[in-house]
A and B are shown apart, each in its own frame.
Chain A
Amino acid sequence: MITVELRKMFRRPRTWATIAVLNALPVLVAVLLVVTDLAPRPGEGPPFLSAVLRNGSLYPLAALAIVLPLFLPIAVAVISGDAVAGEAQAGTLRYLLARPVGRTRLLVAKLVAVLAFVVVTVVVVAAVGYLVGTTLFDAQPIGGTSVSGTSLTSEQITGRTVLAIGYVAVSMLGVAAFGLFFSTMTDSPLAATMGALAVLVTSSLLFTLDAASPIAPYLPTRYWLAFVDLFRDPIQWRDLTRGLALQGVYVGVLLAAAWANFTTKDVTS
């Protein structure tokens, strides 16, 4: 069933179109930077962007930081919101369940497919970022600069980039869990996607509000940009571990709710 879901997802032109659109923005930003040679000053704009003119091998991280606040969560919300509700809207859900495919199995397969999408997307964004970064900017093959100002070896950069990709993927898993949960509640993929996005917008908005500071540590988007901490010297693990734990709780609770809802609901689509 998992192979079937993966095949369905990656044979869909829409999946690749989404990934292509996601890569367009970082590429555009890179081209603009090269043409104008105007990098944002350190501390302004998306993280890492100020450093890429000096070291292009940091561009995968800049690319992730560019798509992370908006584009990436939208893409993940679209795909995960479509997971069950899309089948319901197309009418294929009833045929799958009458095949029969167990409801739990179907949900797990959908989750794995969404997870695969998240990983593939993040890796592709990082890879395209690397290509763009090393061709358009001066790449310093040996070492680089940490956010704290000290030097990092290229092995350290590679290792930490891999960790950063993993961390971003886990953050997106939280979005996917919201999307999948809403997807089991409605027969409209659009409604499920909007539901997941509404949660994220609310979370980002509350995060900027001082009055909401008591609940800020529990907002799903709170620790998203903590992957920057991987490039401090030494690595600051505090926000990273909190981010992972928070996403873990969200994913666990939402998936349990999605499962409870989906396995007991009447399929009338």
Chain B
Amino acid sequence: MSAVISTRGLVKRYGRVRAVDGIDLDVQQGDVYGFLGANGSGKTTTVRMLLGLVLPTSGEVELLGGRMPRAGRRVLPRVGALIEGPASYGHLSGRENLRLLDASGRGGPWRTRSARVDAALDQVGLGGAGRKPVKAYSLGMRQRLGLAGALLRRPELLVLDEPTNGLDPQGISEIRELLLDLHRGGTTIFLSSHLLAEVEQLCDRVGVLDRGRLVLQDRIPTLVAPTGSTVVHSPAPDRVRALLDGRVTAVEGDRLVVRGEDPAEVNALLVGAGIPVTGLALDRPTLEQVVLAAAGTSPDRVEVPR
């Protein structure tokens, strides 16, 4: 395992505002890394610093083993990126846009350009878009075209900012399948998003950004690991409480949280006392709970300073 993205003490200051405030990202080869954060938490600025578009105030960025932004010429050809939505020349067709993009960087022999462009268009399902100019594309088609641009050079690392923006549910699941497929082929994926559900379905590691600080960075299975309690559903919560006095930590209607990490043991106790049990499970926090606990209120809120 080697680090694909690693930052140390990364800071970006705009005047007095610290948009990114000392973050230490660590993305390993083969990860599907979910970079979560509310709007305005500094996600996009971080992504731009990773790619050398924005220069950090202090701190280091290492991308595929090279110090950015100096190593950009060497490592960026191995990175595919979708940054804050797709962009293309509206008066040209999608294919022509990709050809121009492909011709812009080094190392793309023109002999194989058409093959590369066609393969990327097929991958994202735009193979039949023909000569229609991009300005006539729907939002979903533009998003696909942006993704095709990112896949053009078969990158080792995909840096995707909100890749399913503007796609319908079928499109989202299609893109998810495509990303998982690429991941099985060995591509590392860095997915920046504010959609928890999307990250939960795709990623195996998350980093949570809150007001420029990385407040959480861990594997998802670790984050949603059992808490050591059991959740019991029973139509007679009072009797459960009476029987297991002291072990019940929370009651909420017919839902009780009981200390003890073996549901079978709790079940045996309750059934032995003749108390009906309608549901039984290990207590696990949802990713949402973990993220909300780590991050504060939304930075979109602007309250009167006191």
Contacts and interface: CB of A to CB of B under 8 A. Distances in A.
Interface of A: 1, 3-4, 7-8, 11-13, 90-92, 94-102, 264, 266-268
Given A99-B76, A101-B105, A102-B73, A94 B100 contact: no
Given A94-B53, A101-B105, 15 more contacts: A1-B104, A90-B90, A91-B87, A92-B89, A94-B51, A95-B149, A96-B104, A97-B52, A98-B51, A99-B76, A100-B73, A100-B76, A266-B54, A267-B53, A268-B53
B48 A101 contact: no
Given A100-B73, A266-B54, A267-B48, A94 B87 contact: yes
Grouping DSSP codes into helix (H, G, I), strand (E, B) and loop, the A interface class, with mixed when no group exceeds half, is helix
Interface size class of B (residues with CB under 8 A): 20 to 34
Contacts of A4: 100, 103-104
Closest 9 A/B residue pairs (Cβ): A91-B87, A99-B105, A100-B76, A267-B53, A266-B54, A92-B87, A98-B51, A98-B81, A4-B103
Contact of A97 (B53, B86, B100, B103): B53
B44 to A, nearest CB: 9
Interface in B19-78: 48, 51-55, 72-73, 76-77
Contact of B53 (A12, A98, A264): A98
Given A8-B89, A268-B54, A98 B76 contact: yes
A79 to B, nearest CB: 15
Contacts of B79: 98
Contacts of A13: 91
A101 B104 contact: yes
Nearest to B80: A98
A267 B104 CA distance: 18
Contacts of B125: none
B89 A100 contact: no
Most buried by A among B76, B83, B86, B104: B104
Grouping DSSP codes into helix (H, G, I), strand (E, B) and loop, the B interface class, with mixed when no group exceeds half, is loop
Contact of A99 (B86, B88, B101): B101
B85 interface: yes
A12 B91 CA distance: 8
B92 interface: yes
Contact of A91 (B85, B100, B101): B85
Contacts of A267: 48, 53-54
7 contacts: A13-B91, A90-B90, A95-B81, A95-B149, A98-B79, A100-B73, A101-B105
Nearest to B102: A99
Contacts of B90: 90
A228 to B, nearest CB: 40
Contacts of A7: 100
Given A98-B76, A99-B105, A268 B87 contact: no
Most buried by B among A4, A7, A99, A101: A99
Given A13-B91, A101-B105, A268-B54, A95 B83 contact: yes
B4 to A, nearest CB: 16
Nearest to B45: A268
Contacts of B105: 99-101
Contacts of B73: 100, 102
B149 A264 contact: no
Interface in B72-123: 72-73, 76-77, 79, 81, 83-92, 100-101, 103-105
B55 A266 contact: yes
A94 B86 CA distance: 10
